[in-house]
Amino acid sequence: MKILVPVKRVIDYNVKPRVKADGSGVDLANVKMSMNPFDEIAVEEAIRIKEAGKAEEVIAVSIGPAKAQETLRTALAMGADRAILVETDDEVEPLGVAKILKAIAEEEEPGLVILGKQAIDDDSNQTGQMLAALMNRPQGTFANTVEIEGDSVTVKREIDGGLETVKLTMPAIVTTDLRLNEPRYASLPNIMKAKKKPLDTKNPADFGVDIAPRLKTTNVSEPPVRQAGEKVEDVDALVAKLKALGVA
Amino acid sequence: MAASNPGMDEDVFAQFLDQLDRYVRERLLPAEPDVIANDKVPDDILEEMKEMGLFGLTVPEEHGGAGLNTSQYAQVVYTMAYAAPAFRSIFSINVGMFNSALKNGGTPEQQAEWWPRIAGGEIACFGLTEPGSGSDSAAMQTTAKPDPDGNGWTLNGTKRYITNAPHADVALIMARTEKEALPKNAHVSAFLVPMDTPGVSTGSPDKKMGQAGAHIADVMLDDVHVPGDALLGGETGKGFRFAMMSLDNGRISVGAASAGYARRALDSALKYATERKAFGEPIANFQLIQQMLAESETEIYAAECMMRDVTARVDRGENTIRQAAAFKVFASEMCGRVMDRVVQIYGGAGYLAEYDAERFFRDARIYRIYEGTTQILQLQIAKHMLRDFQANV
């Protein structure tokens, strides 16, 4: 079985993002970029499944600028076998990504597509669901545990009330939640080996799908700065304040 | 001197350094209280470090290592030194002095034997210092006598302050093979001694001022028999020279560790100064606090620049005995001054074990001492200055 793992190059989670002065987006000039943390969890899960002898090949794929190669190299260093870069400098929305992934999946025929539940830059949380719908395959989103038995995969999903267990017939789509696993740190020998692993570069045009954006960003602004609190003398003063603020 | 060393591919190295920086911040910093409480690097972290390839950073690629050059190696040390010193200490002899002596002095057979082993995580230690001698090899007491039947040696003596001795799998032992002290230290030879050889024992780890989790102990050699091929380089009389060649490398490592740890402490002081309030505002607003921050920043920057320069020179194949000593002296003394200011910025809290500043201060003190004290290195720097001057008169 093959596992396809889409990974996205995003602003590093340790970086405090700054909005461009003209409000057109987040300033990415000279900002550290890394693999989306949820995608790292997806790569780790795929490698673990392979290490357990339940998959033969892990293919990482990224859609983005030439620099997304670095993100793919990270996936290869962690243990993916080969990588595909679909190179574009344009913004590709979740629907466009899902369409490209569908085309790749039809070519590669993976038993599982494991992807992050969302990317930390736009927090869309749509790609996995859209891919499942386009391919008409079962989906297990927000995975907390993933277990493979024969031709089915059991996914425990993190939902508001707790955990929900679903059993999917493969091929299937799984999206990862934060607690699924703790991704490994790539070792130096594996980083060295990753350089020699194959990395194919393609263009969106190769897949003949329409990835034109459906949405227009009109304005991006910083979140409001949190106001300092106020100390009150006693309960009466507190109640008076709350009433004055109209919250009680 | 060696030809220029390009080291590992720059982009592969950049990727590794990025991972390592993350590893330091996400794994090692949170594990520091554990290291301090148990005086030990946790086993799972030690295993991770071995798997990551840290024990073979400088070992050539064809022998199972990563083949880093000195510039890259120093950057790794600098990055690791952001965390408690024990994490760096445990692999420092492998990638530093032991590897360097093996590279400079080992026969191809010795290299083929030991490089893969240390790259795979076997821990090395380096035995030069003795109860009665350090840099003055004439006073060395440890002896290696040829076996009467020919092919082998018997070692006797005690080595002191040996870093990692309690955990080591192999020691490089300096021992005298001549009774009389000879010019150019030709009475000293070096031996590769597996620590499980009968007659080798270690003392209980010495109690130290700081650097919890890093251990030093005596290594005792009592009629230790080693085969003839344990003699480094297959020739007697070269041990001290190999040791001295390795010390350059060790000094660069301590300099890089000093700079990295000073950076850590300053980051911590900067954070504290912006959080701690006095007279209704953060103490970072006060100019005398700012002066201490700025002086520390300036000095750390200077050490970082020295590190880049001296390591680039090593990688170009230059003789760096003077620069390596100067870098080690400046970086370690600088680190001491920064730690002192950091305690001062922390104020009363800086004296309490509950806060980090106190341990930074204790941990850093050894940097001015090991791998050559400031004083002996100053003598060396001056000796070379005077020698060069007189040669050109």
Give the start-to-end residue ranges of the domains of chain A: 2-245
Evaluate whether B82 touches B260 at the Cβ level (below 8 Å): yes
Which amino acids of B are annotated catalytic? 371
* Three-class secondary structure of residue A130 per DSSP: helix
Determine the average pLDDT of the residues in B249-255. 93
Q: Strand pairing of A172-176 and B124-127?
A: unpaired
What pLDDT sits at residue B5?
83
User: Is the pLDDT assigned to residue B2 strictly greater than 70?
Assistant: no
Q: Is A123 left (phi over 0), alpha (psi -120 to 50) or beta?
A: left
Q: Is A35 left (phi over 0), alpha (psi -120 to 50) or beta?
A: beta
Average pLDDT, rounded, for chain A: 95
What values do phi and psi take at A109, rounded to 5? 50, 60
User: Is the pLDDT assigned to residue B83 strictly greater than 60?
Assistant: yes
Q: Which of B371, B363, B380 is nearest to B326 (CA)?
A: B380
What pLDDT sits at residue B3?
66
Compute the distance between CA of residue B105 and CA of residue B111 in angstroms, rounded to an integer.
9
User: Is the pLDDT assigned to residue B150 strictly greater than 90?
Assistant: no
Determine the average pLDDT of the residues in B203-225. 95
Tokens read off for B126? 């380096």
Please list the residues that pair with A148 across neighbouring strands: A153
Name the pLDDT band for B245 (thresholds 50, 70, 90): confident
What pLDDT sits at residue B241?
85
Q: Which residues of A touch B9 (CB under 8 A)?
A: 195
What pLDDT sits at residue B269?
98
Of residues B11, B19, B57, nearest to A185 (C-beta): B19
Q: How many residues does chain B have?
A: 393
- Please give the class, per CATH, of domain B125-239: mainly beta
Q: Which residues of A touch B12 (CB under 8 A)?
A: 191-192, 195
Determine the average pLDDT of the residues in B299-306. 98
- The DSSP result for B139-191, as a single string, is G---EEEE-TTSSEEEEEEEEEEEETGGG-SEEEEEEESSSS--GGGTTEEEE
Task: Please tell me whether the overall predicted TM-score, pTM, comes out greater than 0.90 for this model.
Answer: no
What pLDDT sits at residue A47?
98
Evaluate whether B19 touches A186 at the Cβ level (below 8 Å): yes
Please list the residues that pair with A142 across neighbouring strands: none
- The sign of the CA dihedral B72, B73, B75, B80 is positive
Residue in chain A lying closest to B68 (CA) = A188
User: CB contacts < 8 Å between A and B, how many?
Assistant: 36
Contact A192 B12 (CB under 8 A): yes
What pLDDT sits at residue A126?
97
Among A13-22, A32-41, A222-231, the range scoring the smallest mean pLDDT is A222-231
Q: Which of B85, B120, B177, B145 is nearest to B364 (CA)?
A: B85
Contact A192 B61 (CB under 8 A): yes
The percent of residues in chain B predicted with pLDDT above 90, rounded, is 84
Q: Which of B221, B298, B226 is nearest to B259 (CA)?
A: B298
Q: Which of A85, A93, A90 is nearest to A119 (CA)?
A: A93
Compute the distance between CA of residue A122 and CA of residue B110 in angstroms, rounded to an integer.
56
Structural domain spans, chain B: 10-123, 125-239, 241-391
Q: Each residue of A85-119: pLDDT tens digit? A: 999 999 999 999 999 999 999 999 999 999 999 99
Q: Each residue of A173-200: pLDDT tens digit? A: 999 999 999 999 999 889 999 999 999 9
What pLDDT sits at residue A143?
97
Q: Which of A63, A131, A79 is nearest to A102 (CA)?
A: A131
Q: Which fold has domain A2-245?
A: Rossmann fold (3.40.50)
Instruction: Note if the bond before A223 is cis, omega within 30 degrees.
Output: no
- Classify residue A145 by its DSSP letter: E
Evaluate whether B193 touches B168 at the Cβ level (below 8 Å): no
Q: Each residue of B29-73: pLDDT tens digit? A: 999 999 999 999 999 999 999 999 999 999 999 999 999 999 999
Give the N- to C-terminal CA distance of chain A in Å, as an integer. 59
- The sign of the CA dihedral B351, B356, B362, B368 is negative
Contact B19 A186 (CB under 8 A): yes
Of residues A70, A187, A195, nearest to B53 (C-beta): A187
Compute the distance between CA of residue B125 and CA of residue B247 in angstroms, rounded to an integer.
13
User: Is the pLDDT assigned to residue A25 strictly greater than 60?
Assistant: yes
What pLDDT sits at residue B1?
43
Å from B195 to nearest chain A CA?
27
Determine the average pLDDT of the residues in B262-272. 98
The percent of residues in chain B predicted with pLDDT above 70, rounded, is 99
Q: Each residue of B108-145: pLDDT tens digit? A: 999 999 999 999 999 999 999 999 887 677 789 999 99
Residues 6+ apart with CB under 8 A from B380: B321, B322, B325, B372
The single residue listed with the structure tokens 């920057």 is B301
Contact B16 A188 (CB under 8 A): yes
Is CATH 1.10.540.10 the right assignment for the domain spanning B10-123? yes
Alpha helices in chain B (DSSP H): 10-23, 29-38, 43-52, 70-80, 85-93, 99-105, 108-119, 239-275, 287-315, 321-346, 356-364, 374-391
Contact B12 A189 (CB under 8 A): no
The percent of residues in chain A predicted with pLDDT above 90, rounded, is 88
A74 vs B: CB within 8 A: yes
CA distances from A203 to A84, A113, A209, A213, B101 (A): 10, 21, 11, 16, 51
Average pLDDT, rounded, for chain B: 94
Q: Which of B220, B227, B187 is nearest to B203 (CA)?
A: B220
Å from A40 to nearest chain B CA?
13
- Please give the class, per CATH, of domain B241-391: mainly alpha
CA distances from B172 to B85, B125, B155, B298 (A): 22, 6, 12, 39
CA distances from B332 to A10, A239, B70, B329 (A): 39, 59, 19, 6
Q: Which residue has the higher pLDDT, A25 or B245?
A: A25
Q: Which residues of B touch A185 (CB under 8 A)?
A: 19, 22-23, 27, 48, 52
Q: Which residues of B touch A70 (CB under 8 A)?
A: 15
Residues 6+ apart with CB under 8 A from B298: none
∠ at Cα A62 (A60, A64), nearest 5°? Answer: 165
What values do phi and psi take at B194, rounded to 5? -60, 140
- Classify residue B231 by its DSSP letter: B
Chain B residues interacting with chain A (CB cutoff of 8 angstroms): 8-9, 11-12, 15-16, 19, 22-23, 27, 48, 51-54, 57, 61, 66
